[in-house]
């Protein structure tokens, strides 16, 4: 696995401008053996911040394929980039892989969030095979209609964003700093990835309330639009449940949870927790090595 320490020079960022002739710094793997899904949703990647788990996301992108991929906002963190330019090669590689998908003919729909709201001015346009939209309606294989949006639209009503935006920003960044330390230590002792803020969120009563408020408000708004369900991100809390008859899906984040929401070819939905997938893969590899020895 890579170490995300190097700050890219401008040439590396400029490579994207010549995408067709550029190569990723971390070569693509396992193109043949990829898991196939009808649809993939990811959000809250926060490229341009130290918290972004680009290495884990690159691993994910190299192991899965889909007919359609939704990027549900906060893919690039424009707020943080403005304060401090941070762009390692791995972050470039994430974008390279997304553009490559579009080039291979997969549908890619990008719904900017609040951290990449600068992209919202392009909503309605298509760039390099990537459709930029304010929101979308996704129809599942079995005909359910799902509203797809980032979710910051509801910040004024709920206070869920306190976990991340404005007020919570410094505390959240500090927690992400601790999270990296804890996981580097766990990794050194061969222990699986563990999410500190997931643990903290579950322990702090107020945050549990914010999160459930947010989920209910969004589900209610979706019900008012007459759709069967809603897919969002924003609060970095992966979830999949039915709220008053409306399917609520949150695809989580790639800062610490490292989750993706996927639709199978029969319309069945599933939340993937990528650290668990990696841990399972490593267990199998260790077992094969043990049997071979
Ligand atoms: Mn957001």
Domain boundaries, given as residue ranges, for the chain: 15-292
User: What's the gap in Å between 39 CA and the centre of ligand 1?
Assistant: 21
pLDDT, residue 293, reads 84
> Cβ–Cβ contacts within 10 Å for residue 30, how many?
11
User: What's the gap in Å between 293 CA and the centre of ligand 1?
Assistant: 48
User: What's the gap in Å between 73 CA and the centre of ligand 1?
Assistant: 7
pLDDT, residue 172, reads 67
> Cβ–Cβ contacts within 10 Å for residue 21, how many?
6
pLDDT tens, residue order, the chain (293 aa):
444 444 445 555 556 667 777 888 888 887 678 999 999 999 999 999 988 999 999 999 999 999 999 999 999 998 878 888 889 999 999 999 999 999 999 999 999 999 999 999 999 999 889 999 999 999 999 999 999 999 998 876 665 555 554 434 566 677 777 777 888 878 877 777 777 767 766 666 666 677 888 899 999 999 999 999 999 999 899 999 999 999 999 999 999 899 999 999 999 999 999 999 999 989 998 999 999 98
SS (H, E, C) 25-69: CCCCCCCCCCEEEEEEEECCCCECCCCCCHHHHHHHHCCEEEEEE
What would be the CATH architecture of the domain defined by 15-292?
Answer: 4-Layer Sandwich (3.60)
Taking the whole predicted model, whether its pTM rises above 0.75 is answered as yes
pLDDT, residue 157, reads 63
User: What's the gap in Å between 116 CA and the centre of ligand 1?
Assistant: 8
User: What's the gap in Å between 290 CA and the centre of ligand 1?
Assistant: 44
User: What's the gap in Å between 271 CA and the centre of ligand 1?
Assistant: 19
User: What's the gap in Å between 238 CA and the centre of ligand 1?
Assistant: 13
User: What's the gap in Å between 153 CA and the centre of ligand 1?
Assistant: 9
DSSP, collapsed to helix, strand or coil, labels residue 21 as: helix
pLDDT, residue 10, reads 55
User: What's the gap in Å between 286 CA and the centre of ligand 1?
Assistant: 38
User: What's the gap in Å between 17 CA and the centre of ligand 1?
Assistant: 26
pLDDT, residue 180, reads 79
User: What's the gap in Å between 75 CA and the centre of ligand 1?
Assistant: 9
pLDDT, residue 166, reads 43
Task: Categorise residue 152: left if φ over 0, alpha if ψ from -120 to 50, beta otherwise.
Answer: alpha
Cα dist from 146 to 67, 68, 266, 272, whole Å: 16, 14, 15, 19
User: What's the gap in Å between 173 CA and the centre of ligand 1?
Assistant: 14
User: What's the gap in Å between 115 CA and the centre of ligand 1?
Assistant: 6
User: What's the gap in Å between 21 CA and the centre of ligand 1?
Assistant: 32
pLDDT, residue 201, reads 66
User: What's the gap in Å between 118 CA and the centre of ligand 1?
Assistant: 13
User: What's the gap in Å between 150 CA and the centre of ligand 1?
Assistant: 7
């Amino acid at each position: 696995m890579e170490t995300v320490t190097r700050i890219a020079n401008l040439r590396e960022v400029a490579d994207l401008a010549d995408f067709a002739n550029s190569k990723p710094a971390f070569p693509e793997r396992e193109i043949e053996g990829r898991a196939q899904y009808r649809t993939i949703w990811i959000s809250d990647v926060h490229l341009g911040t130290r918290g972004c788990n680009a290495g884990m996301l690159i691993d994910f992108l190299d192991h899965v394929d889909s007919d359609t991929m939704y990027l549900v906002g906060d893919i690039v963190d424009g707020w943080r980039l403005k304060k401090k330019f941070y762009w390692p090669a791995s972050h470039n590689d994430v974008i390279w892989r997304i553009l490559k998908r579009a080039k291979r003919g997969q549908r890619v729909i990008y719904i900017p969030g609040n951290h990449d709201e600068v992209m919202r001015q392009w909503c309605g346009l298509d760039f390099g095979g990537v459709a930029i939209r304010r929101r979308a309606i996704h129809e599942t294989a079995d005909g359910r209609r799902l509203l797809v949006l980032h979710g910051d639209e509801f910040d004024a009503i709920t206070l869920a964003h306190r976990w991340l935006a404005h007020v919570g920003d410094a505390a959240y960044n500090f927690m992400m700093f601790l999270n990296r330390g804890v996981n580097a230590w766990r990794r050194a002792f061969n222990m699986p990835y563990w999410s500190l803020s997931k643990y903290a969120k579950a322990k702090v009563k107020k945050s549990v309330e914010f999160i459930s408020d947010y989920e209910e408000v969004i589900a209610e708004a979706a019900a008012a639009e007459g759709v069967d369900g809603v897919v969002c991100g924003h609060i970095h809390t992966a979830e999949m449940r039915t709220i008053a008859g409306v399917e609520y899906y949150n695809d989580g984040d790639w800062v610490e949870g490292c989750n993706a929401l996927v639709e199978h070819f029969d319309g069945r939905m599933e939340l993937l927790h990528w650290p668990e997938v990696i841990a399972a893969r490593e267990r199998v590899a260790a077992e094969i090595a043990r049997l071979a020895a």
